Homo-oligomer: A and B are copies of this chain.
Amino acid sequence: MSRTNAFGDLSSMLAPTSVAIIGASDTPTRIGGRSIGYMLQRPFEGRIYPVNPQRSTVQGLAAYPSINALPEAPDVAIVALPASLVPDTLDDLAAKGTRSAVVFSSGFAEVGPDGAALQELIAARAKVAGMQLLGPNTLGLINTRRNFWGTFSSSIEAGWPEIGTIGIASQSGAYGAHMLSLAVARGLGLSAFVTTGNEAGITATDAIGWMAEDDNTNVIIAYLEGIKDGERLIKALETARAARKPVIVMKAGRSALGGEAAQSHTASLAGNDAVVDAILRDCGALRIHNTQAALDFAEAAVKRIYPVGNTLGVLTVSGGAGILIADDAEQLGVPMPALPEQTQSELKGLLSFAATRNPVDCTAQAFNQIELIGDFGTKLVETGGYKSLLIFLSHAGGHRSTVPALRGQLQRIREASPDCLAALSVIAPPEIVTMYQEDGFLVYDDPARAVSAIAAMGRLGEAFSSRPQPASPNLLPGRAFSATPNEAECKAIFADAGITVPTEVIVTTADDAVDAAEQIGFPVVMKIVSPDILHKTEIGGVLTLVSDAEQARSGFATLMERARFARPEARIDGVLVAQRIDKGVECLMGVQRDPVFGPMAVFGLGGIFVEVLQDVVLRRCPFDEATAMGMIRSIRGLPLLTGARGQQSVDLDALAQMLSRLSWLAIDLGPDLRSIDINPVIATAAGAWAADGVIEVTTSALQDGRKAE
């Protein structure tokens, strides 16, 4: 494992040459004893130093009375002492020259405010000493290649993890051990296992990032609860993506959508979980919701075959299974194109009642004529051009009587398609499953699991091949906020950012309103303008169809009167007379600052699509126009933009351009930006206009004027 890793110096923790256990126990089932017991059973390659002032030996090893008495500074120290002793212990370790501490001890932030204070103390001491800290309240970590068992998890009692290329990073010790146990039970090979506990030092993000750079890890399973370090998580995920390493994420807390009710309209669109979902998707991570799927996908990913433009060829011995597989594949978006006609007639020649389109069914006849499996399978892979292959054999793939002959047929198919992602659906004893796995097949008992895994590998293939390109910023000229900008000021900012706004003029008299309307051309829209009235429609402050001079004159009076009546204290800047964009589709775009991930852009169709159907898409700012187009095309209501119900398609390019520019504006407006709300955006066949907008900034920004980032 590399020591040049950018994500925390986990190297010294995960690949130490020497380890001290502070609070070492002679009893191998105690917290201070398990790690030593494991490292004696599966001998650790380095030196083990138990520290215990009461004993001269611990589990047969020479014990040391104190840290100071150790013959060398250990690469890593495991601390298994009561919480109150941990601060001084860290000092002693630092004085000795130890650079890494794994604190098993509990009794910190998880028990209340006193514990939280103690945790802050040890975090501070570790920082001052330049010491890497894992925990406190961590279940520890494992490096299978070096037999470094720095954990007190009893899960290992049920079986030793095998060496492999899957890394597990978990905030929760117990859930991490749960995933570890299930991985061990199915014989998956692991590189590293890291649980981060209270995360006073190293976080699960660090562990993901470190594994992304670790040569022995090719697949990462992560369990996350809270995410505090958004930038670092994105960097870790992007590092993994660049290395073509899948990150399979279980994120707990998707039901806790609550949180603060924010003032801006778009705020209600995105609970934190939706933000996390968007971030993970954008970074190419696979989010899943149960451990079986996590392990199914990890097991498949170990092969490192990530199809781009995934297609699935299916061979079965049962028509019914083929239909179910086709159902699943369609639902998961994996195409199953038909075999060429020529191949189909050749297959019919081999077996007149076979189904030959795809799924191909060589029927139970294959068990009377076993070479049919190989004949059908090789023709399927040689002429179908499929990126993935699934062969359904069910229990017939597991009978000791038929397996030897069957295996030969399956090997023929593998030889004809070495680059294909190939899976079997068989019910078989473990040793037969292992045999098929050695031949290069993924093996699942049920075909539904196989299709899910194949679909997931295809999604990874797309994620790895389509890393978004950063766009160039707009480099806006500076602009000072005198206060929360009014609509006209917002639109001026939009216009500077390249966001199209309707032609419009602010007027302060009825005469000017008539003049402005006549210059713009009837019909026009008229709105009250006030920094104190964010949601104008609520007070009747918008007239959407002003058709002539007389209406413009009376409209001015009406708006002023309504504003004075509804909000007597409001500062009125005047009335906006604006070009009316006709026959468009109303959309909304916005930006909301997420406390963890920064400005998140949101796009949706107006009205019921957002308010009733929550049909919105989120993405972290900034992003380019192609990405914006992808967002727009992902909403369920897309047909309304592309010409449903006999309408003309709107100018999607203009919408995508506006959305991308908005995402850059959010960056340009700096860290004090709270939210931007463009509602409605009116999209027509001729373009897209920001017909209304609100920009909110934090109070400090109002005092300091506009800040550049």
**B613/A636 in contact, CB under 8 A:** yes
Point out the residues of chain B lying under 8 angstroms from A331, CB to CB.
Answer: 254-255
Known interface pairs A112-B353, A395-B178; A328-B612 also in contact (CB < 8 Å): no
> Which residue of B is nearest A181, CB measured?
B395
Encoded as 1 (CB less than 8 Å from any B CB) or 0, chain A from 290 to 326 comes to 1110000000000000000000000011111101101
Point out the residues of chain B lying under 8 angstroms from A172, CB to CB.
Answer: 318-321
**B645/A174 in contact, CB under 8 A:** no
Interface residues of A in 77-126 (CB under 8 A from B): 110-112
Q: Choose from B178, B225, B399, B607 the contact partner of A154 (Cβ within 8 Å).
A: B399
> Which residue of B is nearest A605, CB measured?
B608
Point out the residues of chain B lying under 8 angstroms from A254, CB to CB.
Answer: 327, 331
Provide the bound-state CA to CA distance between A225 and B320, in Å. Answer: 7
**A394/B181 in contact, CB under 8 A:** yes
Task: Give the segment of A63-71, A443-451, A620-628, A682-690 that binds chain B.
Answer: A443-451
Provide the bound-state CA to CA distance between A292 and B292, in Å. Answer: 11
Q: How far is the CB of A609 from chain B (nearest CB, A)?
A: 9
Point out the residues of chain B lying under 8 angstroms from A640, CB to CB.
Answer: 608, 612
**A645/B252 in contact, CB under 8 A:** no
Determine if A182 is an interface residue (Cβ-Cβ < 8 Å).
Answer: yes
Determine if A72 is an interface residue (Cβ-Cβ < 8 Å).
Answer: no
Interface residues of A in 217-231 (CB under 8 A from B): 223, 225
**A185/B639 in contact, CB under 8 A:** no
Q: How far is the CB of A433 from chain B (nearest CB, A)?
A: 12
Encoded as 1 (CB less than 8 Å from any B CB) or 0, chain A from 427 to 445 comes to 1000000000000000001
Known interface pairs A289-B327, A352-B111; A644-B175 also in contact (CB < 8 Å): no
**B611/A395 in contact, CB under 8 A:** no
**B398/A158 in contact, CB under 8 A:** yes
Encoded as 1 (CB less than 8 Å from any B CB) or 0, chain A from 154 to 196 comes to 1101100000000000111111011001100100000000000
Q: Choose from B252, B316, B328, B613 the contact partner of A327 (Cβ within 8 Å).
A: B252
Determine if A510 is an interface residue (Cβ-Cβ < 8 Å).
Answer: no
Point out the residues of chain B lying under 8 angstroms from A330, CB to CB.
Answer: 255
Encoded as 1 (CB less than 8 Å from any B CB) or 0, chain A from 641 to 652 comes to 000110000000
Determine if A396 is an interface residue (Cβ-Cβ < 8 Å).
Answer: yes
Interface residues of A in 511-525 (CB under 8 A from B): none
**A607/B327 in contact, CB under 8 A:** no
Known interface pairs A320-B174, A427-B185, A637-B608; A292-B449 also in contact (CB < 8 Å): yes
Determine if A41 is an interface residue (Cβ-Cβ < 8 Å).
Answer: no
Provide the bound-state CA to CA distance between A446 and B645, in Å. Answer: 47
Q: How far is the CB of A83 from chain B (nearest CB, A)?
A: 12
The interface centre, meaning the residue of A178, A181, A427 with most chain B CB atoms within 10 A of its CB, is A178
Q: Choose from B111, B318, B636 the contact partner of A178 (Cβ within 8 Å).
A: B318
Point out the residues of chain B lying under 8 angstroms from A399, CB to CB.
Answer: 154, 157-158
| A interface bracket (residues with beta carbon within 8 Å of B) | 35 or more
**A320/B110 in contact, CB under 8 A:** no
Q: How far is the CB of A41 from chain B (nearest CB, A)?
A: 16
Determine if A250 is an interface residue (Cβ-Cβ < 8 Å).
Answer: yes
> Which residue of B is nearest A158, CB measured?
B395
Point out the residues of chain B lying under 8 angstroms from A253, CB to CB.
Answer: 323, 327
Determine if A364 is an interface residue (Cβ-Cβ < 8 Å).
Answer: yes
**A321/B639 in contact, CB under 8 A:** no
Determine if A342 is an interface residue (Cβ-Cβ < 8 Å).
Answer: no
Q: Choose from B291, B608, B645 the contact partner of A611 (Cβ within 8 Å).
A: B645
**B613/A448 in contact, CB under 8 A:** no
**A446/B292 in contact, CB under 8 A:** yes
Provide the bound-state CA to CA distance between A395 and B612, in Å. Answer: 43
Point out the residues of chain B lying under 8 angstroms from A449, CB to CB.
Answer: 290, 292
Determine if A700 is an interface residue (Cβ-Cβ < 8 Å).
Answer: no
> Which residue of B is nearest A293, CB measured?
B448
Point out the residues of chain B lying under 8 angstroms from A290, CB to CB.
Answer: 328, 446, 448-449
Q: How far is the CB of A607 from chain B (nearest CB, A)?
A: 7
Q: How far is the CB of A448 from chain B (nearest CB, A)?
A: 3
Provide the bound-state CA to CA distance between A449 and B291, in Å. Answer: 10
Determine if A401 is an interface residue (Cβ-Cβ < 8 Å).
Answer: yes
Provide the bound-state CA to CA distance between A254 and B112, in Å. Answer: 52
**A317/B174 in contact, CB under 8 A:** yes
Q: How far is the CB of A178 from chain B (nearest CB, A)?
A: 4
Interface residues of A in 244-261 (CB under 8 A from B): 250, 252-255
**B175/A318 in contact, CB under 8 A:** yes
Interface CB pairs A-B, < 8 A, 21? A154-B367, A154-B399, A157-B401, A158-B427, A171-B320, A172-B318, A172-B319, A174-B316, A174-B318, A174-B321, A175-B394, A177-B395, A252-B323, A253-B327, A254-B331, A289-B328, A290-B328, A292-B449, A608-B639, A608-B640, A611-B644
Given A172-B321, A613-B636, 7 further pairs, Cβ under 8 A = A112-B353, A154-B399, A173-B318, A173-B364, A178-B395, A290-B328, A608-B637
Across the A-B interface, give the 5 residue pairs with the lowest CB-CB distance, nearest first.
A174-B318, A172-B320, A290-B448, A252-B323, A255-B330
Residues of A within 8 A of B (CB): 29, 110-112, 154-155, 157-158, 170-175, 177-178, 181-182, 185, 223, 225, 250, 252-255, 289-292, 316-321, 323-324, 326-331, 352-353, 364, 367, 394-396, 398-399, 401, 427, 445-446, 448-449, 607-608, 611-613, 636-637, 639-640, 644-645
